Amino acid sequence: MRGFVVLSCFLVLCAAVDYEADRKLLIDVSLRRSIGYELQLTPNEIEADDIFLSLKYAELDEGFVNPKKFLVAQHFYEVRHNITESEVFKFIKKVPKGTALHAHDLFMVSGDFFFNMTYKYADNLYVLDNPPNDIRVGFFNAGEQPSSWVLISSARENSSTFDVRLRSQLTLVVWNPKLVYNDTDDVWNRFRSTFPSTIPLITYQPIFKDCFYQALKELYEDNVKYLEFRGLFPQLYDLNNTAYDKDTLMQLYIDTTQEFINDFPDFWGTRFIYGPSRNVNQSVVQQYIDDFLELQAKFPDFVVGFDLTDQEDKGRPLADFIPQLQQLQNKTNFFFHAGESDWFGEPTDENLFDAILLGTKRIGHGFALIKYTLLMEMVKEKGIAIELSPISNLIGILVNEARNHPGTYYIANNLPVVICHDDPTIWGTKGVNYDWYVAFMGMTHRDNGLGTLKQLAINSIQYSAMTDDQKSVAMNKWQADWDQFIQEVLAEDNQLVIV
């Protein structure tokens, strides 16, 4: 059908009867390839789309005249507070987004909430402060802390800059990002440098539980009703020397999810994808697989897939572990990170070949996919979703701004794309709204509107690890939320007109 449309367009152009008509047809046929453009919108949706596009056009027009005012053309850290004032951002926040399918267990909550845990649990939080930028933290019973460590409250009293310095060690946020981060390795090195502060905080069991619940709440506030997240098996601890094994960790996730559903009954649930480090040898990957199979057998409704994570350029490629990974084929879902790199023809971007051959259901990032036309065709034909994480790629300096991101091609050619938020704690974001905004304003055609948002939300359900029956139920619930959203958009617009 696509070939027929292109051929028809070509024949019309060759006829050269009406240049303006031919030009319009060519643009229209090109645009119809993009995500969501061919959705048949209802009259109410068309009216809401007009409202939404007017907001988009206003922001684009201002940015076209003065590029310095176009927010997605700037470094995220320079404009993140301005983005929240965007009318497009405010509109997108209200959109029922379905699911979030790519986040990492230790860093899913907003940086502000995470930092505030150092106040909520200050009574047993001890620190070793080595100015200017080495603060070690940990929870201890009084008298059991290491020598020279003091309560965090004392450290705050002794240094007026302590909180500023501690906060800077918990995220990558800086005021002069272009001077601090020169390349992807700089970003990854800074990421790892946060671990002496972030890991002892997030693995303290009370904080871990609070942050998981809050991460669900922040997604819910962005109108996300379901989460699939990559997880390690972090060693949790508390003041009672409780042993937290893998089973206990899974149960904590399940119980906390149920608590959240009790508080917010229209939330659909969570699922776990085991995603340990790829920077290991084959025997360790074999142990990963043994652990995974044991865990999946115990929690078959919760543990739904396998991945290998960490920096691809510095870690080992999937090709090193094919015999081990083949043991999981037909036993679980693969959701491989692949192509999170700007290299071409290196082991990193060749992970894309192995991910597809192994039968991955989704590809994490897929940044380098654009360089392989055949693989893009296979991804589209097989329905392998690309987990697009715009802010992660921008902060990671894979690309300088959203308009140059490969996601523009994926969206323009209706590849299976879902929008994800990756590590909001570290990026200094909150929920998924920033990523949806950056993707929409930086990676879509001027005339892509509500249909694109709608299809992205549908994609998030379609390409989840839910069963077909669960997807059907979720789609019905999402459709009800969507219909209500459209009614609210129209009602709010009518109210503005009346006023």
pLDDT of 177-228, one tens digit each?
988 999 999 999 999 999 999 999 999 999 999 999 999 999 999 999 999 9
Residues 331 and 387 in one domain: yes
- Is 80 inside a domain boundary? no
Catalytic residue selected from 45, 218, 340, 387: 340
For the question of residue 365 being annotated catalytic, the response is yes
pLDDT tens-digit series, residues 135-178: 999 999 999 999 999 999 999 999 999 999 999 999 999 988 98
Edge to edge, the sheet with strand 224-231 lists 98-100, 224-231, 269-274, 303-306, 333-338, 362-365, 385-388, 417-419
Report the domain count for the chain.
3
The C-alpha R_g of the chain, in whole angstroms, comes to: 24
Residues 257 and 386 in one domain: yes
- Is 467 inside a domain boundary? yes
In the prediction, which pLDDT does 133 show? 81
- Is 44 inside a domain boundary? no
Any idea what DSSP says for residue 109?
S
Query: Pick from 132, 164, 195: which residue ends a domain?
Result: 195
Q: State percent of the chain over pLDDT 70.
A: 96
In the prediction, which pLDDT does 494 show? 76
- Is 439 inside a domain boundary? yes
Q: State percent of the chain over pLDDT 90.
A: 89
In sequence order, what are the beta bridge partners of 125?
Answer: 139
User: Phi and psi of 429, rounded to 5°?
Assistant: -110, -170
pLDDT over 70 (residue 416):
yes
pLDDT over 90 (residue 453):
yes
In the prediction, which pLDDT does 35 show? 96
Task: Provide mean pLDDT across the span 318-329.
Answer: 97
In the prediction, which pLDDT does 13 show? 53
In the prediction, which pLDDT does 4 show? 46
pLDDT over 50 (residue 2):
no
pLDDT over 80 (residue 349):
yes
Say which range, 178-182, 295-299, 412-416, has the weakest mean pLDDT. Answer: 178-182
In sequence order, what are the beta bridge partners of 132?
Answer: none
Residues 231 and 352 in one domain: yes
- Is 4 inside a domain boundary? yes
Closest CA to 87 of 63, 65, 54: 54
Residues 398 and 346 in one domain: yes
- Is 360 inside a domain boundary? yes
Residues 225 and 372 in one domain: yes
pLDDT over 80 (residue 6):
no
Q: How far is residue 101 from each of residues 228, 378, 417, 462, measured CA to CA in Å?
A: 5, 21, 11, 11
pLDDT band at 361 (very low <50, low <70, confident <90, very high): very high
pLDDT band at 498 (very low <50, low <70, confident <90, very high): low
Residues 223 and 150 in one domain: no
pLDDT tens-digit series, residues 245-268: 999 999 999 999 999 999 999 999
Task: Provide mean pLDDT across the span 421-438.
Answer: 97
- Is 409 inside a domain boundary? yes
For the question of residue 20 being annotated catalytic, the response is no
Residues 280 and 391 in one domain: yes
Task: Provide mean pLDDT across the span 13-41.
Answer: 85
Task: Provide mean pLDDT across the span 229-244.
Answer: 95
pLDDT over 70 (residue 80):
yes
Residues 363 and 242 in one domain: yes
Pairing of strands 134-139, 150-151: unpaired
In the prediction, which pLDDT does 493 show? 77
In the prediction, which pLDDT does 223 show? 98
In the prediction, which pLDDT does 132 show? 82
- Is 440 inside a domain boundary? yes
Residue 277, SS3?
Answer: strand
- Tell me the DSSP string of 373-428: HHHHHHHHHHT-EEEE-HHHHHHTTSSSSGGGSTHHHHHHTT--EEE--B-HHHHT
Taking a C-beta distance cutoff of 8 angstroms, is the pair 114, 211 a contact?
yes
**CATH code of the domain in which 227 resides:** 3.20.20.140
Residues 185 and 315 in one domain: no
Residues 305 and 279 in one domain: yes
In the prediction, which pLDDT does 131 show? 85
Catalytic residue selected from 104, 365, 405, 421: 365
**Upper half-sphere CA count for residue 295 (Cβ side, 13 Å):** 26
Residues 214 and 184 in one domain: no
Residues 172 and 285 in one domain: no
Provide the mean pLDDT of the chain: 94
Q: Which domain holds residue 156?
A: 112-195
In the prediction, which pLDDT does 499 show? 45
pLDDT over 70 (residue 5):
no
Q: Regarding predicted confidence, which is higher, 373 or 13?
A: 373
pLDDT band at 462 (very low <50, low <70, confident <90, very high): very high
